[in-house]
Amino acid sequence: MDGNGRWAKQRGLKRTKGHEVGAETIREITTYCAEQTSIESVTFYAFSTENWKRPKLEVEFLMKLLDRYLKNELKTYQEHNIRFKAIGKIDELSRSLQKRIEETEELTRNNSNLTQILALNYGGRAEITRAVNSLIKKGKKILTENDISSELQTPYSDIDLLIRTSGEERISNFLLWQLSYSEFYFSPTLWPDFKADELNKIIEDYEQRTRRFGGL
């Protein structure tokens, strides 16, 4: 979800305003996805393991925004039958935020219309490393792809479509294992301006693609 800061700068606003509007966009896109019977889950890269390098005040604001977002979105999750799940190094977040995450996951765990996943303090390399170390602890000496997939935090091993906004064309350590055969779409739209109509057009484009998975 790139472009919050640039969106704010273009309007002469503080970067924090861009993040606030970006959170509203998450709500809109999640609600849209919940209305589509063909979409099982949607994952948002909200905060990476590298984002701690940002200015301290911005990081603190993002953590407070996340807590407020989860508190306010619980009603949306329940109304639209959405399950919430967080992935990443959650144990490195503040205890109060961990509690908010745990409570939201528990209160929505039986919802089945859509799974919304927030990647928080997340890095693809860290996720794979954690999975491998977990298997080693269990006594595994030779690992298979299925072994690693089973230890990942995501409830799936493959992703159909990756969308990155704001014109950036990088993966940036996001779901590296799960993106092996994904279709990619890079949108020039800054995240706060990304709307359900554009997502719908991207999905239509995706449906026209031929996915060979290495075959003919």
Catalytic residue numbers read: 2, 51
> Is the Cβ–Cβ distance between 185 and 205 less than 8 Å?
yes
What residues have CB less than 8 Å from 174, skipping those under 6 apart?
45, 48, 119, 122, 124, 162
Listed in sequence order, the DSSP H helices in the chain are 4-10, 15-34, 56-79, 95-108, 124-137, 145-151, 196-207
Q: How far apart are CA 199 and CA 201, in angstroms?
A: 5
Residue 156 CB burial class (10 angstroms; 0-12, 13-18, ≥19): middle
Angle, vertex CA 113, rays to CA 92 and CA 104, nearest 5: 30
90: which strand partners? none
Q: How many residues does the chain have?
A: 216
Rounded to the nearest angstrom, the gap between the alpha carbon of residue 148 and the centroid of all alpha carbons in its chain is: 20
